Structure 1
């Protein structure tokens, strides 16, 4: 395409000659005026067009869905104007492109916004200069509408990433210092004259750019075709800049970032894309970090969102790039010579122009007159910087866990090597915990198995993500919890306070996965409850006129109920006690509402919470039913915490000092931030602060009562109780910052302002001790576990199956178990090393209580042959830990072994103590027999587990020694006789030798015994009842149904919310 002007019939000039004026037959010019809901200035714009002195000028007005038809206003001033109305607003570029369909024979198009005023010779001056300078696109000098002495734009330059670099300072006095005709990279889109043939060759404006950036895209592509882009300052056009105020569009900064990146992706060739895009990404990253540090999270989001927005439209971009490539004539190297060097964004920042200068000066002047205002402005940088520092601290202080691995302490059990082990366990009807029992499997096995497949079998990585990743998930939840408040700084404050509280770091140090999961979930739970109330700021109810929360939509009950239920169900798969916590949170929130004399939202909150809990319970059927059928349902749900009290006093509870983090005096500092909204807050900020404090006080009270031994039942780990308390305190801190911004100005300067500053400093001081986590990079978590401590001592190399019986304080046991007395618990693991399959012990125990009965017989001095009693149970080792880890040095991890227990074990004739590290007592059972073995000959029947005292089973020969699936085994049987299977007797167990089924009976009153009448290859199976299979399948289907219902109901809710906005547009 030749960018030369079209032939007009005028005499041809020599190459060096310049016409002094327009030829006798002037080229036709069509002014394209795009309008949308024009204001009172519109008549002045139309009059300026009517007064043009250009002889062959037509006016095409394209109205983009104005609420009031502007045709009469247009015809009243320009009777010859052509008006084309659209029923919607497709964007400026798409509307302007209609000129190619509506007009024929024009030589130039003059594209104008509807808020400009041209001088009478404006179009003539631009067309003359276009002929004189052979320009493809030319524009005027833009000046302020109200004060034409002030310059707005005289052309624009760009850098290599498309960032605009204005030639003039905004509002600079026009002293004719920019009146030279010159080439520029971009002509501002308010008024530009474009050659019609060039416009056609370019394919017009980019339809994908609806507003802002259309001028950059058009001019860049014009350069690629070899056309000149120029400014003719002799034409002075006034510009009101009112278009952006009248269009229902997103934030201007967000659109500029998106469209700038889109233009660079289209315009650059492969080499320069590979060279420039990484630099653009780097500059964007720097600006995102700076925006967060300076307390502008919305700006950071706008900049970062430009990349995924363009990635989703790569198909459009490739098509436009291909079309441009077919006509381009200029290489990118030549285009780069027209662009500015370096980064225009960085240069403007260094010149102090990163933000709008007038806004900054005005804000500073206002703040200098108001001390509270100055503190409000400074809080943005303070909270943003503090949040970034905490996030960096989290990453650096967790480096040892990321690169060195997480030890299997407390609840951080190892995962199996492949996800199949977990899915097989969930599908099986046999639970292997203790001595085994028939029953439903925990849903957590199935969920972990699915996650294992999604992580391509990287089970170690999955374990690390589920442990360490709980902290950022919780922090993100705190951010989202505060978002309805309407202040970005409130979200940053909630994020920072929640990260600074020591709850997750104590959970890491103490091996409390339950605490970490509750830390991750608690903000999301509170957010769901807030939405359930429908009360401001989480809904429109009770919102005062003019409040930012007044626009918060009311959530429909169905998507809220199912979404909340799914959230509870996912957490309950690993921490069933979350259902109790959710119910308690709903009651505490309701009491807080009543305390504020607010009944609105209480019934809806209780109804949706109850429904969500029922959904969660239903999703865990039949496992949830087995937990409730247990002999001690509370222990199955809450765990087997001690009932005689704990080491945490009231002061440590108030400081969240459940472990090594949160020590005084700095541990008290967080309370000031939470108390601030109660002191200075008003309206819904005060009411929600009261609700948050009801949650805080209720959690503290329950934990204190449990630690003092005032409760008849045990409680889970302290972090499980403290996590929702921390989330409520973070919400209170966010409300405090919102009150600081909104309500503090209503008070005279005094102690409230000083308290606000003290609260902010308190959060920072409270977080200072976390800096010591940088030293070890593990949050004081031990480096090893019992598996490493017992390596080489406990024989795990042999193929004979065996169990390890663990006895001690439940907080230092590496597996879940059963209560022995008020302070001691017991648990079992297969082949020594605990895994996540030993994580759940609730439900019908089968014969497992016999383990405790055997210990009581020995402790009551009624036998000194405990090993013989445990031998048929396959117990080869008995381990009594007194620490969370053999190398743990934290005082909180130390637990004294009861003297009566250690003395009892020392008196047993068949239990040999093995030398190990401090913190462990390990005994080897010299009377042990493999859990699957052909027993030596015995006389008479064995109907009680006590009959084993007189039996020497150590000569038994291991059989079917290879584990097969979740419960079965395979191998060979080398001898005839009674074959013991050390699992609770159940008729669904079957043994086949050479394919021949063997007869089953029970021995010692509890264990399976098969009459091995032959030798050879054998297979031991547990035939899961069909009812169990159907129940498991039904559970999987129910999960899918609930997820689908939630997604569809949520989608309908979004569509209903968007529909009115579309109708208004």
Structure 2
């Protein structure tokens, strides 16, 4: 029996509701939803335009859900299904049970009898009306979840939309949060090609009417979906293979393809708790056990895309799904949420491995009545999902603790100044300046960058950075990577020595810049000063609060002599250390639990891994930081001796990980400890710093001025020892100062002391910061004496020192030995000839005296980045040493044959070499002088020089050159005599292999050092290769894997999203201002006062409760479910006495208008109280007035009693066990509202059949501008 049914009285009929021809059957599905059902039932039964029928289906709820719906709707309206029943199946069963209501079931649909109750007479003109005066009834299904509470006018607003658009088949409401009453959840929904659920909303976006346009959408949520019953039956309802999620998108997509229209009615509002998606209850319908919502949603997304994608779009959709899943899986692993990564993979392959279901579903859907291109505008615009992902990552890893970062989730954005605010518009123009003053970090970086660009004006332009300790970088990143990962290094006479690991780091960085190694080096060097200042400012935040002092310390650190000197001399290692050292210091403090107050809170492992990552990174460039860290770590162990186990493990991880990741290069440092004092690049000799320079934080050298200029910082750090508070932090900083000073003194004796002085300088600045914090107050509190002038002088000296250093550096310029120049280090024709088939080499001679001669064997156009370390690690070739010694000694013998044996075709003497060396070479047989340019002289060897030659077996025969590449050779060789040898001018090694027509040649060593192979008499195709050992390749990739793992361990984990829709705890704010309070406290007090003032202007809660109690006397009547046989429009739900007011709101038994501890718990006992119940309907004849023969003039009168709607959405105090961010699909870009989109009241009432009366164009007739096709 329907809700609108006949009563026993003759000629009685139920009153006609608004939009009478639309017959609505509400279907409510419940599953462990007792905590939300009281409000859901109140919203359902309290509709201003009630439904004609209600059917509920409970799927094996373990709580009181079944009892609540039974008490509210009656037992005959409730189906009890198995617990694993899916939502779609439950809806199908409920629809089948409900049946179709006809005019016989709904008397108001028929022609009235003609009886006028006013005149108590019959009117004959009633018989002139049609049999169905409201037209043929249209059957609708209104689907509701047990956690979705509609507003009182929700159904009326949706029916208003469908009544104006006869082509609408599915309509959905606007979804808001359950607790956050202004937060938008959905206003229509779409799906990207990657399967991402797309709402077009920003995360925590507040509803200000910005999306209130009736428009066509791809889909609406199943929560509150109003679907025409004939369309439901035509489409077969929800797909049974989608047990819970994405069933709504699939249904609406199929409706579009069948030629129906799906609209969203934003004036209809429904509050949704999203209980399953937010893990507020288990999902039992997606398998034999409880399923993860992430996995269910992923599987639903894959299935929906594959079964609905049309034709040519299917391969692209499949590719996007697979690639997107792979990328998201990596992101979840990096974010340290392996469970969600597993859900991604399981959801994808759980669907793909069942192709039969996909093909069957595609066959059932057929081709469709609408071209898929017509729906393109309903999908996300190109690039939207990428932008949303980037913003989500930034939000996950960005800081959310800054008090100035914005408002809370309940904040709204004002459209502009209004009222009294307009009077201060001119003053508010300076708001941006004030904001920059509160956040000087970006301004500081911009200022330092400007100073650096001016100072480095000579380092900008074309050419390669080179000079000092820096060699030009290879032009191609692959070449740079091969220098690190390759098994054979073509440097000098070649070798298998271990490459320095910083080459791999720079190669990885260059890959981020599209393979530009030159840009990566420019960034690391030219931008090292501003980047150092920025990281110093960031790292000092936990140290003190004063932004001014932090900015001063950052500038002072950026212009330390070691930083500017490293840039001028091309010391790449020190420049990288300058950028990362502040971050290392902050991570070290956090890892070891060192706080300024001396507390013993244990540091986190994430901070330990961050410290280890940074230490490993910088050790690759400046090895000296590792022994420094070890010494300081031992000191921490002494301090933490009471917790030696925990900190001992941290120490082992910190000290051992760099050795492991950087092995075997790091092991060579342990066998030769002097290597710890070196850094990336060429060795420029011993340090030149004096004792005063070291005390003044200067390592000496070009552009490294310091000494007396920076003694003010040293004095400020010494003065910090006089402070009574924070002595633990100050003494810790001084311990680092003394340790670094010792290392600087040791380094200065053999190499440059720049890295150690950087550590020394940052520790001094930390101590000075701690001493300066609050110094003005402390000094002012003392009686005037010698302390005030001394403090002022120290402050002046410390404050002006970085300014003078910056100005002097900017005026003098950063150019020193480092400069922009042509990377070719030999004459152009020599460089060009070195790339020919002979691969000839150049012997470069230099030195400062006849007794100290240096040489290098150059291949190609000159040495490149990393060649200096490779040459040093490979050692010298004793045979080549002897040849060079004989050459410069002037023995008088012909040196051509000896030089050609090393493939040397040219001899170059650099400018600055002794003149005697040139005279000797001029008189050496076999050498011909060619030219002299820029002070350098060049000679050519008269003998044939080639890397690969065939040495005949006979005595005195000339070697035959063979073409080759820098390492390998693939060429034809002629026939010859037996016993000849293939000679390679590279060091012999077991990795060399050669074949002739596929037959392996026998390797041998030639001349005691060169690699050779015995050749047969026959000719053929020669293939010469070097086989890199498998162990070497495996270890290189193991290093890469260890580096990735270390990065993952160091990065912050993907924060489990705080539930966007939970009640916020009220922050306690003092009623009156207190001394020392911050801006946040003032803002909170102002907001509280504004809220209190607003509540006074509105009817108070107490008055509403009193009115509610007075208007709802207790009738003492008991509701009987079986008596639901009359008109629900005679009284609103809860109106027991027909006065039009609520007797008791859900959860309010005493009439106070307030809710108990939990929804439905009135007495705090944990039991549910009475829920809203369906009441009896009044007689239609007692309420209507017959006004004439025109049936359109029949008016439905209702009681004029006061209607009071208590707030059924008061915050639920239950505690959430853990929020779930479905797929990380939060933070999405909003739809761009097109200019042609019309609001609700702008529809076309005269739309032609098939024409959409709701404007969805973008102003040019090309579809909705708020939608687009996903990439």
TM-score (normalizing by structure 2): 0.47
Separation of aligned partners in 2, 1:632 and 1:765: 34
Separation of aligned partners in 1, 2:612 and 2:213: 57
Residue in 2 aligned with 1:414? Answer: 472
Residue in 2 aligned with 1:681? Answer: 723
1:510 Cα deviation (Å)? 0.8
Residue in 1 aligned with 2:1198? Answer: none
Residue in 2 aligned with 1:667? Answer: 709
Contact in 2 for aligned 1:525/1:582 (Cα 8 Å): no
Report the 3-state secondary structure (helix = DSSP H, G, I; strand = E; otherwise coil) of the residue aligned with 2:862. Answer: coil
Separation of aligned partners in 1, 2:769 and 2:671: 43
1:421 Cα deviation (Å)? 2.9
Q: Residues 635 and 908 (structure 1 numbering): CA distance in 2 closer, same or farther, change over 3 Å? A: farther
Separation of aligned partners in 1, 2:733 and 2:941: 54
1:384-434 CA distances to partner (integer Å, 9 max, x unpaired)?
987764343124434554544542224433333433334444443223333
Contact in 2 for aligned 1:980/1:1007 (Cα 8 Å): yes
Contact in 2 for aligned 1:682/1:739 (Cα 8 Å): no
Report the 3-state secondary structure (helix = DSSP H, G, I; strand = E; otherwise coil) of the residue aligned with 2:984. Answer: strand
Q: Does 1:840 align with 2:840?
A: no
Residue in 1 aligned with 2:619? Answer: 572
Residue in 2 aligned with 1:522? Answer: 581
Separation of aligned partners in 2, 1:602 and 1:1029: 39
1:72-107 CA distances to partner (integer Å, 9 max, x unpaired)?
xxxxxxxxxxxxx999xxxxxxxxx99995995899
1:508 Cα deviation (Å)? 1.8
Residue in 2 aligned with 1:1039? Answer: 1043
Contact in 2 for aligned 1:426/1:446 (Cα 8 Å): yes
More helix by share: 1
Separation of aligned partners in 2, 1:631 and 1:338: 68
Residue in 1 aligned with 2:1012? Answer: 1009
Q: Residues 852 and 648 (structure 1 numbering): CA distance in 2 closer, same or farther, change over 3 Å? A: farther
Residue in 1 aligned with 2:426? Answer: 347
Q: Residues 619 and 198 (structure 1 numbering): CA distance in 2 closer, same or farther, change over 3 Å? A: same
Q: Does 1:929 align with 2:967?
A: no
Residue in 2 aligned with 1:48? Answer: none
Report the 3-state secondary structure (helix = DSSP H, G, I; strand = E; otherwise coil) of the residue aligned with 1:987. Answer: coil
1:382 Cα deviation (Å)? 11
Q: Residues 986 and 790 (structure 1 numbering): CA distance in 2 closer, same or farther, change over 3 Å? A: closer
Separation of aligned partners in 2, 1:215 and 1:838: 55
Residue in 2 aligned with 1:436? Answer: 494
Report the 3-state secondary structure (helix = DSSP H, G, I; strand = E; otherwise coil) of the residue aligned with 1:485. Answer: coil
1:615 Cα deviation (Å)? 0.8
> What is the aligned counterpart of 1:1021 among 1010, 1021, 1025?
1025
1:468-527 CA distances to partner (integer Å, 9 max, x unpaired)?
344444333322332221414243333222112232222121111111122122222222
Q: Does 1:649 align with 2:690?
A: yes
Report the 3-state secondary structure (helix = DSSP H, G, I; strand = E; otherwise coil) of the residue aligned with 1:1010. Answer: strand
Separation of aligned partners in 2, 1:1030 and 1:732: 46
Q: Residues 687 and 875 (structure 1 numbering): CA distance in 2 closer, same or farther, change over 3 Å? A: farther
Separation of aligned partners in 2, 1:823 and 1:1053: 65
Q: Does 1:555 align with 2:603?
A: yes
Q: Does 1:460 align with 2:518?
A: yes
Separation of aligned partners in 2, 1:636 and 1:386: 32
1:682 Cα deviation (Å)? 3.3
Instruction: Note the residue ranges of structure 2 that are not aligned, 5 or more in a row.
Output: 1-33, 50-150, 158-172, 185-202, 215-376, 378-397, 1059-1063, 1066-1214, 1219-1271
Contact in 2 for aligned 1:627/1:636 (Cα 8 Å): no
1:437-495 CA distances to partner (integer Å, 9 max, x unpaired)?
23444444444444444433333333333433444443333223322214142433332
> What is the aligned counterpart of 1:695 among 702, 720, 736?
736
> What is the aligned counterpart of 1:1030 among 1031, 1034, 1051?
1034
Separation of aligned partners in 1, 2:494 and 2:690: 39
Contact in 1 for aligned 2:483/2:499 (Cα 8 Å): yes
Separation of aligned partners in 1, 2:733 and 2:155: 61
Larger radius of gyration: 2
Residue in 2 aligned with 1:722? Answer: 757
Q: Residues 682 and 493 (structure 1 numbering): CA distance in 2 closer, same or farther, change over 3 Å? A: farther
> What is the aligned counterpart of 1:542 among 579, 583, 599?
599
1:581 Cα deviation (Å)? 3.9
1:198 Cα deviation (Å)? 12
1:695-729 CA distances to partner (integer Å, 9 max, x unpaired)?
3444444444554x4xxxx33x4333333223323
> What is the aligned counterpart of 2:840 among 802, 816, 821?
802
Separation of aligned partners in 1, 2:405 and 2:939: 59
Matches within 5 A, 1:993-1008: 993-1008=996-1011
TM-score (normalizing by structure 1): 0.55
Residue in 2 aligned with 1:875? Answer: 904
1:704-761 CA distances to partner (integer Å, 9 max, x unpaired)?
4554x4xxxx33x433333322332332343233253675566445554445544454
Contact in 1 for aligned 2:950/2:982 (Cα 8 Å): yes
Report the 3-state secondary structure (helix = DSSP H, G, I; strand = E; otherwise coil) of the residue aligned with 1:504. Answer: helix
1:125-176 CA distances to partner (integer Å, 9 max, x unpaired)?
xxxxxxxxxxxxxxxxxxxxxxxxxxxxxxxxxxxxxxxxxxxxxxxxxxxx
Report the 3-state secondary structure (helix = DSSP H, G, I; strand = E; otherwise coil) of the residue aligned with 2:773. Answer: helix
Residue in 2 aligned with 1:498? Answer: 557
Separation of aligned partners in 1, 2:448 and 2:693: 23
Separation of aligned partners in 1, 2:660 and 2:420: 64
Q: Does 1:985 align with 2:1044?
A: no
Residue in 2 aligned with 1:766? Answer: 802
1:929 Cα deviation (Å)? 1.6
Separation of aligned partners in 2, 1:760 and 1:387: 24
Separation of aligned partners in 2, 1:1043 and 1:216: 33
Q: Residues 383 and 687 (structure 1 numbering): CA distance in 2 closer, same or farther, change over 3 Å? A: farther
Q: Residues 828 and 989 (structure 1 numbering): CA distance in 2 closer, same or farther, change over 3 Å? A: same
1:897 Cα deviation (Å)? 5.0
Contact in 2 for aligned 1:773/1:779 (Cα 8 Å): no
Contact in 2 for aligned 1:629/1:843 (Cα 8 Å): no
For structure 1, which segment, 379-388 or 856-865, has the greater mean C-alpha deviation from structure 2 after superposition? 379-388
Report the 3-state secondary structure (helix = DSSP H, G, I; strand = E; otherwise coil) of the residue aligned with 2:539. Answer: helix
Residue in 2 aligned with 1:12? Answer: none
Contact in 2 for aligned 1:586/1:605 (Cα 8 Å): no
1:531 Cα deviation (Å)? 2.4
What is the root-mean-square deviation of aligned Cα atoms in Å? 5.7
1:1026-1063 CA distances to partner (integer Å, 9 max, x unpaired)?
33333334333433444445558x669999xxxx9999
Instruction: Note the residue ranges of structure 1 that are not aligned, 5 or more in a row.
Output: 1-84, 88-96, 108-194, 226-269, 271-296, 311-315, 322-334, 357-378, 544-552, 811-819, 883-895, 940-950
Report the 3-state secondary structure (helix = DSSP H, G, I; strand = E; otherwise coil) of the residue aligned with 1:986. Answer: coil
Residue in 2 aligned with 1:732? Answer: 767
Contact in 2 for aligned 1:673/1:759 (Cα 8 Å): yes
